[in-house]
Chains A and B, each alone.
Chain A
Amino acid sequence: MRPLKFLLKKEFKQIFRNKALLPMIFVMPLLQLLVMPLAADYEVKNINISIVDNDQSSYSKELTSKILASGYFQLSGYTHSFKESFKLIESDQADLILEIPHNFEKNLSRNGFEKLFIAVNAINGTKAGLGGSYLNSIISDFNQSISIKASKNTPDLEFKSIDIASLNWYNPYMNYKIFMVPALLAIIVTMIGVYMCGLNIVKEKEIGTIEQINVSPIKKHHYILGKLIPFWIIGIVVFTIGFFGISWLVYGIVPLGNLFLLYAYLGLFLVALLGFGLLISTYSETQQQAMSVSFFFMMIFILMSGLFTSIDAMPDWAQKIAYINPVTYFIEVIRMVVLKGSGLVNITKHIFIMIGFAILFNTWAIINYRKTT
């Protein structure tokens, strides 16, 4: 164990002496955590709508004001023909067209039904889909209110409807940030795990100092532990700053679950991820190679971890990739423990899987690191 002491001392000195690395480790991740949740927001607002009101009746005016009052839409045109409105879509000034037909009010009161026409610019699928469904719900709401009015006037027409009462658990206001911030914290820890440690070793390969280590009687596992431990500690520290300093203080996310459990899982996750970084470093000769390979995996780790998109919504093959991605499990655990207050029983499966990853990556890395080639 004595050589390990010297390795750790050396490593910490080098890390804290590196003027470029320190801000990279501490400032950048936290800035990302501050900025990203504000930008990466799924809620679609300010949808530009153009309304073609062919009716100009009190009903059509009521519907229009209802749409604009919802807060999701901005009126970019109020035209008299579809053609005019379509020009707005072509010039990207409008995302949606709602066409209200002639005799809208008359037909509605006389026949009890009428058709509306919605045209959506579907280039941005999310915006189009959400805009369409917002509009639909506003119209059905409007529909209900006029039905009620109608039923009052003609009591023989019985009004039937099913009313659904829903309750949102764990994130009652469906605040996107509550969903994103803990997961972004997981991604930041992942970056430290994959990049920092791996690059550090490859740097020693590049400048040649690793040769001096390889020609010494130092044990492989001592050397690797000497690299793992400093970055493990850094990972925990960065997570702590992000968790208490930003997630709790700035975003007001109070963890519901057991913090000890969360930290235990974080520790385990870091061992697995640092092992992965080490593994990449044993296969790379230059920092450039290590960086490119790490970047490739980082993309998969981020996109296929359920960070932005629900894993259940992915095609089968993609789900399989997501479930061999260690980051998936950490994001699940952090969301479960922080937002739902899940306990040990709920994440037992996650713990065993992560232990598996940790053993796999680290053993592979130690075997593949050769002092004698």
Chain B
Amino acid sequence: MQRSLSLSTTQITWIIVASAPVGINTLPRMINEQTEQTGWLFLVATALIIYLYMRLIIILPERYPGLSIFEITTHILGKWAGSLFILFLSLMMIVGTSLSLRLLADGIINYMLFHTPAMVIILFMLFVLFYTLTRGTETIVYINEILQPIILLTMTMIMFLVINKARFEELTPIISEQINVIQGSAVSFYPFLFIFVVVYFFPYVRNHSSLKKGIFLGISLILWISLTLFILSVTLFGTVELNYIEYPSIEFARLIQFPMLERFHIFYLIYWIIYAFTVHTVTLYAGSTGISYVSKKKNMVWIAVACTITFLISLYPDNIEKAREYAMYLNYVNLCFVFFAFPLLLLIDTIKRKVNSQ
């Protein structure tokens, strides 16, 4: 007995939260390099822009209720252009997942499995992801509903455990020549790199107001996570020291002292693995369903293909620095393509509708 999936506000919220890339772990340092302690203002401003942008995008499912983003795109752009659009979007998801997996693997090697090759770490994560994706959309939605609240609670708990060591005067915004506004803005978009994965879930949105609320809550929670990470990193380490810390969020977990546990930051890494798993599930789901739609073949086959491609790409960067560099390039491509392509899609649709109505 099957019941068709209908996404609730809570479910949409968690899917959006799951779209924040694993690289958010290193975000405090990346933003700090460009904007110093003013970074939090950039994050807030970016979140506002993203919210407005998403409000624009969700006009599409309002106009085409029940249709997937693939059907909407091919309807607006035609078969070939639409397929190309989807393919590009899906490949970007797969590349993003690959780089994110590589960053995670290097983090695990640094802190947990010192002698295990990155290839093994990535491969096993991909096995689990493959199993997850073959379980279907509903399962992906449910695991986020279960795991994301736990992740957020852990995050909040850690924040409270280190908050007594924070020096909040470090956060006063400054206007300095060292602040690179353009670079800083680009980097601050990073937490929202995959936010558009929500478009892949359009066919399961029955209630449009749930989508609006879910997007608002989702963006707010991503902002909360990235702000917390940034603020804690700056207030705990200071802007100068932060530039030399590879994984700021793991390092501030080092400051936590429990009588029963030593090296608490390794437990914190567990939290990051779970978080990475939820992110990769959503992004790889988007990548595999995209190419599956274009090829008109069974999704199962394309899940395997997407996983294989992800594995190969993830091994390409020589080291963690290269992986981070590529991730930033992807961020720029994302900014240029996605943030212009969807509004363009909407514009074309509006023009077509006006022409047809005349």
Q: Do A and B come from one complex?
A: no
Residues of B within 8 A of A (CB): none
Residues of A within 8 A of B (CB): none
